[in-house]
Amino acid sequence: MQIGVESARAVENKRIFVVEADEIIRSALQFMLHDENETHEMASLEQAYDKGREWKPDLVLLGLSFVEEAGADLLNDVKTRLPGVKILLVADTPEQPLVQTGLATGAEGVLVKPITIEAVRGKVDIVLGRRALPMASLDALAAGGR
């Protein structure tokens, strides 16, 4: 059952890779997005790169733990290995130093925990160009839509 899904979006083929180390967050994001998008969850970037060879994603939701582990240059690597992809970081708070570094080095925005269906779908729609950005910038929305 699709709840709150516009029929045009349900048939539009936007592919999203959810790459998050935390299985619960990864599953929740996949569940929140699967009605409106072709959404795949993965526990590693290698899985995303492998799947991305055949199925190019439009958007990657990337857990900040991967950036913490590999450094901010990881975002350039993701964009090189998955050409044309947009990136939303998944983080605990927008004030984390790596969030700001990530935004400066190529991430389009950040999803802040605790995640809600409205915030996740709204931000994804903005990044995918489905919804116009309100007067506030996408980075201002990083604080949970405030």
Percent pLDDT > 70 in the chain is 82
- Mapped to the 3 state alphabet, what secondary structure does 69-83 carry? HHCCHHHHHHHHHCC
pLDDT at 120: 97
pLDDT beyond 70 at 5: no
> Between the CA of residue 118 and those of 27, 32, 54, 60, what are the distances in Å?
16, 9, 30, 18
| pLDDT of 9 | 45
Summarize the confidence of residues 54-70 as an average pLDDT. 96
Burial of 53 (0-12, 13-18, 19+ CB in 10 A): exposed
Which residues, other chains included, contact 16 with Cβ-Cβ below 8 Å and sequence gap of 6+? Answer: 33, 37, 38, 39, 40, 57, 58, 59, 60, 61, 124
The pLDDT score that the predictor gives to residue 13 is 78
Q: Answer yes or no: is pLDDT of 110 > 70.
A: yes
pLDDT digits (tens, 9 = 90+) for 33-59: 999 999 999 999 999 999 999 999 999
Helix, strand, coil fractions of the chain, as percent rounded to 5: 45, 15, 40
**Helix/strand/coil for 107:** coil
Q: How confident is the model at residue 146 (pLDDT cuts 50, 70, 90)?
A: very low
pLDDT for res 133: 63
Compute the average pLDDT of residues 109-115.
Answer: 95
Q: Which CATH number fits domain 7-129: 3.30.1180.20, 3.40.50.2300, 3.40.50.720, 3.40.1190.20?
A: 3.40.50.2300
Residue type, 133: L
Q: Where are the domains of the chain?
A: 7-129
Residue 70 has pLDDT above 90, yes or no: yes
Token match 């539009």: residue? 12
- How confident is residue 140, by pLDDT bands cut at 50, 70 and 90? low
